[in-house]
Amino acid sequence: MKNFLSFKPLSKPENYKGIGVMAVAGIHEALAQTLARAVPPGSRVADLGCGAGAFSQRLADMGFDALSVDENNEGVFQAQTPFRQLDLENARQMAEFCEEFAGRFDAVICAEVIEHVENPWLLVRNIASLLAPGGVVIISTPNIGSWYSRLRFFLNGKFPFFYQADAEYGHIHALSETELELICVRAGLEVQSITPAGHLPRLWLSGGLLTQLTNLLGFLGSFFMQGQWRGLCLIATARKEHTAKNE
């Protein structure tokens, strides 16, 4: 019933062990479960765009060897994990980082980051270079195919999380499930799965009467939708080939 009906407005989890979580409810938990299925504890994992480090701390608590990576840690980063300062949009810094850590990670987490960069295709290619053979990248991003996103786009021509105000804090690329898959494939990765995540009730009756009626329309329309219409976000998992076995 929790995932079917809700009268509550959209909310964000406050923290993980006192560290602020900059993601919608349920995303970090889903990412952690996905990673645990993909690689064993002790694996070396890079958390790209780690923010204050909430997910990095979760990785450490799960027994992973985590490296936290973000543009700026001054007064922000709080996790008890090694930190590396890196501007993902700086070509020189990125090239140096990729050269230093080429093939050294069993997994790379890119949580709610890809929609912020100017060139998501290049970002995933760079991530692929960081992976050891058989390593995985796990990417999460807003789901523009959700029933909620489709309905809002139908009504006002814009996807939620990609309004003008969202662009001001960096949401500049709304990626579809198809494009996300293609980006990974073109980077030489084998897509394992693309699944919905992030709490999005099937019947969401929050807000005023107009909003409730609008969401009711979305509920009825969801019975006719195809693709990933559940979940506020998508999680893509892609694996680098074991090239050694083909040599």
Q: Report the pLDDT value the prediction gives residue 79, as an integer from 0 to 100.
A: 95
End-to-end CA distance of the chain: 52
pLDDT over 80 at 247, yes or no? no
Q: Report the pLDDT value the prediction gives residue 210, as an integer from 0 to 100.
A: 87
The pTM assigned to this predicted structure is 0.92
- Nearest-angstrom CA–CA distance, 23 and 15: 10
Q: Report the pLDDT value the prediction gives residue 1, as an integer from 0 to 100.
A: 41
Q: Report the pLDDT value the prediction gives residue 181, as an integer from 0 to 100.
A: 97
pLDDT digits (tens, 9 = 90+) for 24-54: 888 999 999 999 999 999 999 999 999 999 9
Q: Where are the alpha helices (DSSP H) in 22-100?
A: 27-38, 54-61, 91-100
- Nearest-angstrom CA–CA distance, 133 and 139: 18
Domains of the chain: 11-144+170-200+230-241 (3.40.50.150)
pLDDT over 60 at 162, yes or no? yes
**C-alpha neighbours within 13 Å on the C-beta side of residue 183:** 24
Amino acid occupying residue 114:
I
Is residue 176 within 8 Å of 144, Cβ to Cβ? yes
Residue whose entry in the numeric block shows the structure tokens 């070396």: 44
